[in-house]
Amino acid sequence: MTAALRLRIVGLGGSLAPRSTSLAALDRVLAAARGAGAATERFAVADLDAPPYRPGRTPPPAIERLCAAVRDGAAMVWSSPLYHGSISGTFKNAIDWLEVLAERGEPYLDGKLVGLVATGAGDHALQAINSMEFMVRALRALACPLVVPVARAATVFGDDGAILDPEIAADLDRLGVLLVGGARTLALGAAFERRLQGPHAAAANVPSAASGPVDGR
């Protein structure tokens, strides 16, 4: 594969639990993306050790690394546990810190593809996916049509993170492959459009971040 088409997929997820099923699921998707020819970078929320997001607060180094990777990446994978009908607080805080990207080039995740995974102790992991889909749109990104909600995750993942359910494993693999293919299509389409429009198109078409933040201050 040529360097121009070797895309980078950025994964964000996990929890503060010692054995995080959402992190194990994220790792599986990223492995499939690498198998499809992409480079990957993983950010576990536990490793970010990020303070609560506050407008104007200086981002800590781990958040700066996350934001730089997201800005330069072609697509993302989000993987959160289901906590009380939604995503976890630590995962939401990491997403809130992406407000840093509001005025760094194309704002937020503009035009990027995001794959969504959630794990739950019961049968309602899709509720976390629903929450993430709203967040994807707010960040001007595109949600991958295939989502992977993992119900009764304690029975799906072994103590070592191995996936015991072949259907779930296949879905996570499929998501990784679809992300790479979709991101490559978007990248090629954007490059072709820039060639058609000329050298000044990129500056003319970037939406202004002054149109408003993702959330209220």
In a domain, 176, yes or no: yes
Q: In what helix (H) or strand (E) does residue 115 lie, and over which residues does it extend?
A: strand 113-119
State whether residue 140 is helix, strand or coil: coil
Give per-residue burial for 37-47: e unless 16+ CB within 10 Å, then b.
Answer: ebebbbbbbee
Long-range CB contacts (< 8 A, 24+ apart) of 139-142?
A: 139/95, 139/98, 139/108, 139/109, 139/214, 140/107, 140/108, 140/109, 140/110, 140/111, 140/207, 141/76, 141/108, 141/109, 141/110, 141/111, 141/112, 141/113, 141/114, 142/111, 142/112, 142/113, 142/114, 142/186
pLDDT at 205: 47
pLDDT at position 193 is 64
What pLDDT does residue 104 have?
83
Q: What is the mean pLDDT of each run of 10 residues along the chain (217 residues)?
A: 70 96 98 98 97 95 97 97 97 97 89 98 97 98 98 95 97 98 86 65 45 48
Answer whether residue 147 is part of any domain.
yes
Among residues 132, 32, 31, 141, which one has the least CA distance to residue 79?
A: 132
Predicted confidence at residue 217, as pLDDT, reads: 46
Q: How distant is the alpha carbon of residue 136 from its chain centre?
A: 9
Please check whether residue 216 lies inside any domain of the structure. Answer: no
Residue 139: phi, psi to the nearest 5? -90, 15
Looking at the domain assignment, is residue 96 inside a domain? yes
- Give the residue numbers spanning the domain of 25: 3-211
| CATH code where residue 32 lies | 3.40.50.360
**Residue 201, pLDDT score:** 53
In this prediction the pTM is 0.87
Count of domains for the chain: 1
Q: What whole-number distance in Å separates Cα of residue 99 and Cα of residue 108?
A: 7
50 within 8 A of 62, measured Cβ to Cβ: yes
Which pLDDT does position 105 carry in this prediction? Answer: 80
pLDDT for position 164 = 97
